[in-house]
Amino acid sequence: MSTNPSAKAPDPLIEDVVVLKETIATLHARIVSLERSLEETQRERVEYLQNVAHQLVSPLNAIKWHIENLTNNRIGSVDRAQKVLRSIYSQSTIAVHLAKNFALMSNLEADHELGALQEPLEPVQLCRLLVNLADDFQPLGWDRGIQITVERNLDSTPDVLAIKPLINQVFSNIIENAIKYSSKNTTIMIDGKPLPKREAILITIANRGIPLPPTNKIPMIFARGFRSDAAKNAYPAGTGFGLYIAKKIIEIHKGEIGARTASDGRTIVEIILYIDKLRGMAQEWPKKQSS
């Protein structure tokens, strides 16, 4: 092997400078991309805030307007008064639902781990929770002839260890979607069964109405801010945060959530919650009595 005596050995200083320049360029690109994603997140936050504020105004205005009519005796018959009261109830359900999602958004962005959340774990009777939610949301479906049924199977499912207000909000978001996106005169079916091998409970919420996106795009419905064109046309008001919040909560509970279109065209949302998987991972309620 011959060597060229006139060829200079590479200057280690120059090599270092080249490496440094490359590192600085990479860091610069990274900072620019972080800045962009920060701006994007802040823009989404502002949009979400404006959207929620805007959506909260409409049920609150409706409630105020109904109460004004009731107090000024502008409602003729008892029948009409009952309708007005039912509407007040529905509008309050919407307002409370929105406010709860709003409160959760800021919490969930910060705390991803169960132990970091303030609320304790407790045994949750899913059947009772779902029956209560079905009762709460049923008035929203009356105008369009939509019925919500909770199947009796659920009666016998064991309790799951979970943070109750969070799980309540998951099902509240899914049932609210089912009502919003159902066709007139249809039935929403809430069902469930134990999965003994996995020591878990499977809950399904099925409705018939506007379709989900095509199968390969279904995961998008759990992304922050996503709304399909069909959903926007059927129901212009919406933030696209409901299922994102639901997914985050289910992930915190180490459970699973998914959606699919059944062969008969219905939309099915499925949730798996583990009976006892979270024991020891956060404070529990009720606390054991010390003897």
Ligand X SMILES: Nc1ncnc2c1ncn2[C@@H]1O[C@H](COP(=O)(O)OP(=O)(O)OP(=O)(O)O)[C@@H](O)[C@H]1O
Which residues form the interface with ligand X (CB under 6 A)?
A: 173, 177-178, 181, 207, 209-210, 212, 221, 226-228, 231, 238-244, 267
Q: Which is nearer to ligand X, 94 or 121 (CB)?
A: 94
Q: How far is the CB of 133 from Mg ion (least distance, A)?
A: 14
Q: Which is nearer to ligand X, 120 or 225 (CB)?
A: 225
Residues touching Mg ion, count (CB under 5 A):
2
Q: How far is the CB of 139 from ligand X (least distance, A)?
A: 17
Backbone phi and psi for residue 188, each to the nearest 5 degrees, phi listed first: -95, 125
Q: What secondary structure does DSSP assign to 89-136, as a single string?
A: HHHHHHHHHHHHHHHHHHHHHH--SGGGSSSPBEEE-HHHHHHHHHHH
Query: CB-based burial of residue 271 (10 Å sphere; 0-12 exposed, 13-18 middle, 19+ buried)?
Result: buried
93 binds Mg ion (CB under 5 A): no
From the centroid of its chain, how far is CA 50? 18
Q: Which is nearer to Mg ion, 138 or 173 (CB)?
A: 173
Q: Which residue has the tokens 């029948």?
A: 79
Q: How far is the CB of 75 from ligand X (least distance, A)?
A: 30
Check whether the bond before 286 is cis (ω within 30° of 0): yes
Q: Which is nearer to Mg ion, 59 or 127 (CB)?
A: 59
| Residue 207 interface partner, choices Mg ion, ligand X, none, CB cut-off 5-8 Å depending on type | ligand X
Show the DSSP H helices in the chain as ranges. 12-71, 78-110, 126-142, 164-180, 229-234, 242-252
Distances (CA, A) of 265 to 19, 206, 213, 269: 58, 10, 12, 13
CB 119 within 8 A of CB 260: no
Q: How far is the CB of 236 from ligand X (least distance, A)?
A: 10
- Give residues 168-227 in contact with Mg ion (rule: CB under 5 A): 177
Q: Which is nearer to ligand X, 70 or 230 (CB)?
A: 230
242 binds Mg ion (CB under 5 A): yes
Q: How far is the CB of 143 from Mg ion (least distance, A)?
A: 18
Interface residues with Mg ion (CB under 5 A)?
Answer: 177, 242
